[in-house]
Structure 1
Amino acid sequence: MATIHATCVAVDGRGVLLRGPSGSGKSDLALRLIDAGGRLVADDRVQLSLEGGVVVARPPAVLAGLIEARGFGPIPVPFESAAPVLLVADLKPAETIERLPEPAVCAYLGIRLPLVAVAPFEASAPVKLRLALAALALPAHRLAR
């Protein structure tokens, strides 16, 4: 098991890991994904385990069901106790993201996962992540496996 600094939201049961330094917009983007029907798995710290060849995200017990809204503190929200991680998103300023990036991957617990870059404060960020997840279900797509 590994614990990482990230936030995880389940979108239609599929986990998206949001990575970035403190203040980069992980919780803000997570709140917008939750508002659009996603469910929090973990905020700020995510426990990862390998189960049957799948990376699974869980919240640390002390943080389960809590998300930090800057200026409001921890807020209780409905949450999932676990979700398979299918996508990793690095949160970056819009001006640093390539317009047409090559497919990218990262690895956790020896499993390669598709990696995308997203500007977390753009209004379209939650939709882009939903579209990226949907693309993973297609036989041929631009996201690396």
Structure 2
Amino acid sequence: MSASSPTVHASAVLIGDRAVLVRGPSGAGKSRLVLELIWAGQAGPLDAALLVGDDRVHLEAREGRLWVRPATQLAGLIEVRGLGLRRLDHAASAIVGWVVDLDAPDAARLPEPSALRTVIDGVELPRIPVGAGYSALLLVMAALTTTEGATSQQVQDDCSKGIGNHISPTIATD
């Protein structure tokens, strides 16, 4: 990666062979989510997870992929509120596979397909918008361990018919 690439206000964690890039305003819980994902990797629900960077990371698009690496001064450090900066093993770089946006204003119970994608430096990536009151850890773990179950159009049609839930009676009784 280019030594001159600017840093962005984000954190990243490597899970398996892809990184989860976590964006959000200061105090939104980026560091906390990264720690929770690392612990989930240690406990078994997720593949092994390793810190890439906390608070400031470098991003670079290369050959159709987005790479992330820690800011040099912060490599291996993560802020734990109430304890200060703590040291963890970390990856030198990783390919970004997911983007999580904390405090996302477009987070919805049944998001539009366009809300679940983002483009960074010309690279399109899956996106998880997390709104106030949503569990970031639960959403990320669900995204990483499940697959889509229904088309967005079907969900929208059910809701517009006033069915009251996202599952139509015909689906539930088939």
TM-score (norm 1): 0.82
The aligned runs of 1:1-145 (5 Å cut-off) are 1-37=5-41, 38-92=49-103, 97-103=107-113, 104=115, 105-119=117-131, 125-134=136-145
- In the alignment, the residues of structure 2 paired with residue 36 and residue 87 of structure 1 have an alpha-carbon distance, to the nearest angstrom, of 17
Q: CA RMSD in A?
A: 2.7
- In the alignment, the residues of structure 2 paired with residue 17 and residue 52 of structure 1 have an alpha-carbon distance, to the nearest angstrom, of 19
Hey, what does 2:164 align to over in structure 1? none
Rg larger in structure: 2
* Structure 1 stretches lacking a partner, 5+ long: none
Contact 2:128–2:139 at 8 Å: present in 1 too?
no
Would you tell me which structure has more strand in proportion to its own residues?
1
Q: Which moved more, 1:83-92 or 1:113-122?
A: 113-122
* Structure 2 stretches lacking a partner, 5+ long: 42-48, 153-174
The alpha-carbon distance between structure 1 residues 126 and 101, as it changes in their structure 2 partners (threshold 3 A), is same
Q: Percent identity?
A: 42
The alpha-carbon distance between structure 1 residues 15 and 140, as it changes in their structure 2 partners (threshold 3 A), is farther
The alpha-carbon distance between structure 1 residues 119 and 72, as it changes in their structure 2 partners (threshold 3 A), is farther
Find the residue that maps to 1:24 and give its secondary structure. Answer: coil
- In the alignment, the residues of structure 1 paired with residue 87 and residue 132 of structure 2 have an alpha-carbon distance, to the nearest angstrom, of 22
Would you tell me which structure has more helix in proportion to its own residues?
2
Offset of 1:120 from its aligned partner? 8.2
Q: Which runs of 4+ in 1 moved over 4 A?
A: 119-122, 138-143
Higher RCO (CA-CA < 8 Å; seq separation 6+): 1
Letter in 2 for 1:24: A
Alpha-carbon displacement from aligned partner over 1:62-99 (angstroms, at most 9, x marks no partner): 11110001121110011111111111111128x97311
Aligned length: 139
